[in-house]
A = this chain, B = another copy of it.
C-alpha cells in the first residue's frame, strides 16, 4: 500500500507542448505526424526538432478514440492450445507475425480462446473494435469464432485453408498438394514403386491435400493406387507408429512411405526399425514439415519444408491490405524438398 515506483511516471508531453515548443499550432504538428502534406519544409523541421527535444510520443488512445482505429491486431488461437504451443512451426509463425507487425508499429495482442468463456470474451473484445483485424490460427473445421468475426465484418486472415467453406475468409497457406507431389516424385525417382502413405487427419485441408498430391503423382506416373498402401494418421507420433505397422501388415512389399508429418515419420522409423527393415535401403521414408523432429530422427528425415517465415509475412501483408479496405484473396506459397538420409 506504500508509494513505490521510485521516481514515479511523469506526465508525458502532448501535442500542445510540441506545438508551443515549435511555435506552430496543433494542426500543423498533427499534419507533420500523419501524412505531412501541405506543410512547409520549415514548419516540418521545426516540429521534428521540437518532437525530438520534448521526447513526444503520440497518445494512441486519444488517436484511436477519434479515428476509430486501434492500430493493433489480434493473434487468435481457437484450437486446443497445447498442440500448437508444442509445434515449433507455430512459434515461428507467432514470432514472424509479431515482427512483421512491429515494422508497421502495430502491436500484436495474443488471444487464446480455450474455454467457452474465453471464446465469448475474446469475441466481444474483437467485435467491439478493440483490434483492427485478426490473424487466425485454427485447423478446426468451420470455426464458430471465425464465422462470427466474419459476420461482424472484422478483417480476418487465417493460417492454412479453413475448411468451413461457407464463409469466404482470406488465408495464407503452403502448397500442401504440390509439396506432396514433390515428395512422391522424389520417391519415384529413386526407383520405388510400392509407395505407401500415412495421411494426416482427413477433416483438415492439409491432410486432404497431401493425400491428393500423392495420388496425383502416382496416377501421372502410371502407378496403380493400392488402397492397402494408404493408412490414416492424425499427425501424432503414435499414429505414425501404428500406421507403419498396419502398412507392413497390409502390404509387406512396401519400399517407401510418404508420411504426412515429421512427427508421424518418427513413429514410422521406430516401427520399421522394430520390424527389421533398414531405412533407406529397404524402405525410404519421406516426412512433411521440416520440424526439429526431422533432424532429431535417425536417419535424418527427407522432408518438405513449408515457408513459415514467408507465411507470417504474407498473413500480415494481406491483413493490413484488408484493413485498408482492399479485397483480398488466398495466397498459396511454394514448398521446398529437403533431402536427407531417410531416402
Binding site for B on A (CB under 8 A): 1-9, 12, 57, 59-62, 64-65, 70, 72, 75, 81, 85-86, 88, 91-92, 94-95, 98-99, 102, 105, 107-112, 114, 118, 121, 124-125, 128-130, 151-155, 292, 322, 325-328
Contact = CB atoms under 8 A, between A and B. Distances in A.
A277 to B, nearest CB: 20
Contact of A85 (B57, B91, B112): B91
Contacts of A65: 59, 61-62, 65
Given A86-B91, A91-B86, A92-B85, A102 B121 contact: yes
Number of copies: 2
A108 B326 CA distance: 28
Nearest to A156: B5
Given A124-B57, A152-B9, A3 B102 contact: no
A2 B112 contact: no
A1 B328 CA distance: 10
Contact of A110 (B64, B94, B327): B94
A312 to B, nearest CB: 12
Contacts of A62: 61, 65
A99 B114 contact: yes
